[in-house]
Structure formats: structure tokens, C-alpha cells
Amino acid sequence: MNHSFWSDKRVLVTGGAGFLGSHLVDRLRAAAGCHVAVVRQKQFDLTRMDDCRRCLAAHRPGIILHAAATHGGVPVYQLQPGRVFYENLLMGAQLMEAARETGVAKFVGIGTACSYPGRLVGKLNERDFWGELPHESVLEYGLAKRMMAAQGVAYKKQYGFHSIHLALSNLYGPRDEFDPAFSHVVAALIRRFVEARRAGQPAVEAWGTGQPVREFLYVEDGADAILLAAERYDDTAPLNIGTGVGTSIRELTELVRELSGYRGEIVWDTSKPDGQMKKLLDVSRLKSLLGWQAPTPLRVGLATTIHWHEASLATANARA
């Protein structure tokens, strides 16, 4: 992060009190002279156009980091696909339109690897972004975020509006959501193993076969990459933000068990869905264009996250 770049900027961070957004805000506030505004839903509901306009009129940002999203674990995507699609679609579309109307200099759309076609095998390259539908397990979330990228391309063509779209891999780290209804795989596993160790439970259940391969990006690394892209990246083509390093769910589960100090068994419930079998990002453009690669090894990031979780159990378990 180049502090001098941000020193005279007015920056609006949607979702700034949440997991990723709070880490972005911490970094921006460390840059002397940077004016940071955090959007909270109780003040501005970004699914309402009037609230989007009021928000931008109140804060007058030059840069928007759109980190707000309606998302969660598998139960959320299975039980509330309509809400997930509707709210993410409206937040992205209306906020970008309000930004265009008010002359915002740069809109940074924070998307997801879930937007990539679900049938692709191998590393996901940006040239494949606009292919087939996302995997059915994340279809509504992935499509809504992909539409935000499409809007950026269209607005560049017609209005010359300046936006970028960043496709992030799976984030984990301190301040994650550990509520089972909302958590993703890392946070869910950490909570299960910590609770099982404390309760002396003989076994912990894990979903699926453990065979799917994913990559996991430490949240502080993700925040650094987003701010670097905001400084240096100017193309409407999506840019992958990740590690490019694959880990099977079985390997991840065994590593979390080890680092959490749990000594019991892992029982795999193969009746539960695996989802897409392999989802890895090709981060070659990230390295070549920005000269950046994720510095935090998975073992180190997991150990830090487990330590934070145990030191903050009441807060961590109740974030959602």
C-alpha cells in the first residue's frame, strides 16, 4: 500500500464494519490525510437507490471500495438463493449508477471466484470469466457479482466511467464469521474443532468426501492486494486476487484439527455435497501487472486465525 497515494483521497468502504471491509478500513486509516467513510446498513440500505444517492451525497467519495455483500455458507445459498441474488445485484448496480451520476473517480468492485464457470477444470484464468454459468451451489451469488463486472464494462463504453472488478478466492482470518449458518469452510472447521476440544468430544463431522480442492487467501493479504489494485489497476477486465495454491478440503480439515489441538476423529458425511471439485485462480496477471503475491502461508494464517478465535470467542461466535 502506497500511503502517499491515499493521503488526499476520500474513500467510501461499503461493508466497512464487516470481515474484509474492516481490514481495508484499518489500512486506509493508517494513511495520514485519507478520509475514510464506512457504510452501515442501518444508515444506508444499498438495495435502495435513494439511499445510495444519499450516501454519496453525504460522504462525497472519490473512490468507492464495494466490499458489502449478502453471502454465507452452503445453508444460505440453498435456502435463500433469491435474496442472495436480488440484494447483491441491486447493491452493485445501484451503487455504481449513483457513483456515475455523482462523478466518483474510481469504483472498485470486489467480486468472487464463484463467478467463474462451474464446469471449468484447472486454474481459472480471467479470459474464461465470461463463459458458462457458475456452479449450481453458488449460482445466484456468482451471477450477481458477475453482473457487476458486466456493468463496469458497459459503463466504460458509454460513459467513460472508471471501474475495476476483482475476483477474490476464499478469504479467512481474524474477524471472520463463525456462526454455522453464515460461515465458510475455514471458520466453520475452526469453530467445530475448538468446541470439540473444549467439550472433549470423540469425533467431529466434516461435510462431503474431502476431495474438492480450493485455495485460501488470508484476509490481510487480500486487503493489501485490493488496495494495490485500486492504486495501479485500470482495466475493465476482471483481475484474480488469490494465492494460486490448491489445498484439498481433507488436507485443510486435518491441518485445522492439528493446529486447534484436537485429538479426536474426523467423520466424513459423504451424503453432504462437495460442490465444484476444483476451484483455483490463475494469478499470473496479478503477479505480472502488480508484482504481488500472497505472503502468508496457510499454516501461519490458520494458526493466527485460531488464536484470534479462541481469544475472542464471544465476539467471534456471535458476529453474524
Q: Rounded to whole angstroms, how far apart are CA atoms 233 and 147?
A: 20
- Domain membership of residue 203 (yes or no) is no
Beta-carbon contacts of residue 143 (< 8 Å; ≥ 6 apart):
85, 115, 133, 134
Spatial CA neighbour of 172 closest among 216, 213, 214, 138 = 216
Q: Which three cell numbers stand for residue 234?
A: 485500470
- Domain membership of residue 84 (yes or no) is yes
Length of the chain: 320
Give the pLDDT confidence of 51-105 residue by residue, as tens digits.
Answer: 999 999 999 999 999 999 988 766 777 888 999 999 999 999 999 999 999 999 9
- Domain membership of residue 125 (yes or no) is yes
Say if residue 158's pLDDT is above 70: yes
Least confident piece of the model among 38-52, 95-109, 130-144, 305-319: 305-319
Secondary structure (3-state) at 80: coil
123 alpha-carbon distance from chain centroid: 18
- Domain membership of residue 21 (yes or no) is yes
- Domain membership of residue 97 (yes or no) is yes
Query: Which CB contacts under 8 angstroms, 24+ apart, belong to 191-196?
Result: 191/309, 191/316, 191/317, 193/256, 193/257, 193/260, 193/262, 194/260, 194/262, 194/306, 194/309, 194/310, 194/313, 196/262, 196/264
SS (H, E, C) 197-219: HHHCCCEEEEECCCCCEECEEEH
- Domain membership of residue 268 (yes or no) is no
Spatial CA neighbour of 104 closest among 41, 68, 59 = 59
Please tell me which residue, 41 or 65, carries the higher pLDDT value: 65
Give the pLDDT confidence of 268-281 residue by residue, as tens digits.
Answer: 999 888 878 888 99
Mean pLDDT of 309-315: 79
Average pLDDT score, the chain: 93
pTM for the predicted model, two decimal places: 0.94
Domain, as residue range, for 224: 3-175+215-245+278-296
From the CB of residue 42, how many other CB atoms can be counted at a distance below 10 Å? 5
Mean pLDDT of 218-235: 98
Work out the angle between the directed axes of helices 81-102 and 49-59 (0-180°, nearest 10).
Answer: 40
pLDDT of residue 238: 98
Secondary structure (3-state) at 39: strand
Q: b/e string for 216-251 if b means 16 or more Cβ within 10 A?
A: bbbbbbbbbbbbbbbeebeebebbbbbbbbbbebbe
CATH number for the domain that contains residue 159: 3.40.50.720
Q: Would you place residue 320 in the very low, low, confident or very high pLDDT band (cuts 50, 70, 90)? A: very low
Please tell me which residue, 178 or 152, carries the higher pLDDT value: 152
Q: Angle at CA 302, nearest 5°, toward 296 and 307?
A: 120
Say if residue 314's pLDDT is above 70: no
- Domain membership of residue 146 (yes or no) is yes
Q: Measured on CA atoms in the order 150, 151, 155, 156, is the torsion positive or negative?
A: negative
- Note if 141 is an active site residue: yes
Residue of 141, 172, 218, 233 with catalytic role: 141
pLDDT of residue 275: 79
Mean pLDDT of 15-30: 95
- Domain membership of residue 91 (yes or no) is yes
pLDDT above 90 coverage of the chain, percent = 82
Q: Rounded to whole angstroms, how far apart are CA atoms 235 and 97?
A: 19
User: What is the total count of domains within the chain?
Assistant: 1
